[in-house]
Amino acid sequence: MRAPASNASNASAGALGKCTMATFIVLLGPPGAGKGTQAKRISGILGLPHVSTGDLFRENLADHTALGVEAGEYINKGQLVPDSLTIAMVEERLTRSDCAPGALLDGFPRTLAQAEAFDEMLEKSFNSKVFCVPCIEVDPDLLVERLSDRLVCRNGHVFHLRFSPPKKAGVCDLCGEPLYQREDDKAETVTKRIEVYNVQTAPLIQYYEDRRLLRKINGDQDIEAVTQDILSVLNEANAVNLTGTKIAQKGNGIE
Ligand SMILES: [Zn+2]
């Protein structure tokens, strides 16, 4: 039996683990919506690896992998990393054994072209498909405020002056490195990033809406309430998928 949504955070991966296919969840949301924080929480609760393209880039660059070196050349020239490279990095990550049950994707796909390529990759290489796309929505005026209060360390650990302040001001709780504001998070660039997100992501939202995978999440709530809402739509999606399987089996005369 599935745990009711109100207890969902106590439920283990078993809640979604009944699906025979690997479970690939795409988490969408504008910069500042708390997507990374939610991805970490949901990933911990479900026992699915959190695959963040930001982390993947940092890792590939630091380890000087072939893909990292190639991406570095674009980044050093101030150019955008082409979709094909990003897609290759994600595919390499998903083939590692910890992703056998699936993964929670954060920061990918980011464009319509990537979403189409991702569907093709899942079908060809993983005999699977996107399970559900929770999309965190936040009042745009609040996003600017949220991002300008964000601090990071050079290892990518994220803090927030109001929502999750570090224990000691200016120092990362996890690795002791100094905290700073990313160039990206300064108020003047935040507005630009949100604009870019809206332009890139609008077609993505439509794509997943057309496939009935998109679930809107109210991001103007505290962190725990947003987590519960995401778990709740994932449980619903699981129920739909399980029912779909049963109907298909009946149709085949298996039952
Ligand atoms: Zn740190």
Three-state SS string over 162-228 comes to CCECCCCCCECCCCCCECECCHHHCHHHHHHHHHHHHHHHHHHHHHHHHCCCEEEEECCCCHHHHHH
Number of domains in the chain: 1
pLDDT band at 126 (very low <50, low <70, confident <90, very high): very high
Task: Please indicate whether residue 186 or residue 205 has the higher confidence score (pLDDT).
Answer: 205
Exactly one of 41, 93, 146, 150 is catalytic; name it.
150
Note the maximum CA span of the chain.
Answer: 64
Known catalytic residue: 129?
no
Reading the block at residue 188, the tokens are: 């003047």
Task: Please indicate whether residue 174 or residue 196 has the higher confidence score (pLDDT).
Answer: 174
Quote the ligand 1 centre to 207 CA distance (angstroms). 36
What average pLDDT does the chain have?
85
Exactly one of 2, 40, 58, 110 is catalytic; name it.
110
Exactly one of 2, 129, 193, 216 is catalytic; name it.
193
Q: Examine residue 169 and state whether it is found in any structural domain, yes or no.
A: no
**What does the pLDDT read at residue 20?**
61
Q: Examine residue 221 and state whether it is found in any structural domain, yes or no.
A: yes
Whole domain around residue 31: which residue ranges? 23-138+197-251
Quote the ligand 1 centre to 101 CA distance (angstroms). 28
**What does the pLDDT read at residue 244?**
57
Strands 150-152 and 158-160: antiparallel
Quote the ligand 1 centre to 38 CA distance (angstroms). 18
Quote the ligand 1 centre to 60 CA distance (angstroms). 18
Known catalytic residue: 215?
no
Q: Tokens 């990933």 belong to which residue?
A: 43
The single-letter code of the amino acid at 144 is V
Q: Examine residue 243 and state whether it is found in any structural domain, yes or no.
A: yes
Known catalytic residue: 211?
no
Q: Stretch 61-87: mean pLDDT, rounded?
A: 92
The single-letter code of the amino acid at 217 is I
Quote the ligand 1 centre to 174 CA distance (angstroms). 5
Exactly one of 18, 182, 211, 246 is catalytic; name it.
182
Quote the ligand 1 centre to 50 CA distance (angstroms). 17
pLDDT band at 183 (very low <50, low <70, confident <90, very high): confident
Known catalytic residue: 193?
yes
* 151: enclosing H helix or E strand: strand 150-152
Quote the ligand 1 centre to 170 CA distance (angstroms). 11
Quote the ligand 1 centre to 156 CA distance (angstroms). 6
pTM above 0.75, yes or no: yes
pLDDT digits 0-9 by tens, 127-140? 999 999 999 998 88
Known catalytic residue: 192?
no
Q: Examine residue 17 and state whether it is found in any structural domain, yes or no.
A: no
**What does the pLDDT read at residue 39?**
95
Looking up residue 216, the CATH number of its domain turns out to be 3.40.50.300
Q: Examine residue 105 and state whether it is found in any structural domain, yes or no.
A: yes
**What does the pLDDT read at residue 133?**
97
Exactly one of 35, 41, 93, 215 is catalytic; name it.
35
Task: Please indicate whether residue 172 or residue 8 has the higher confidence score (pLDDT).
Answer: 172
pLDDT digits 0-9 by tens, 80-124? 889 999 999 999 999 999 999 999 999 999 999 999 999 999 999
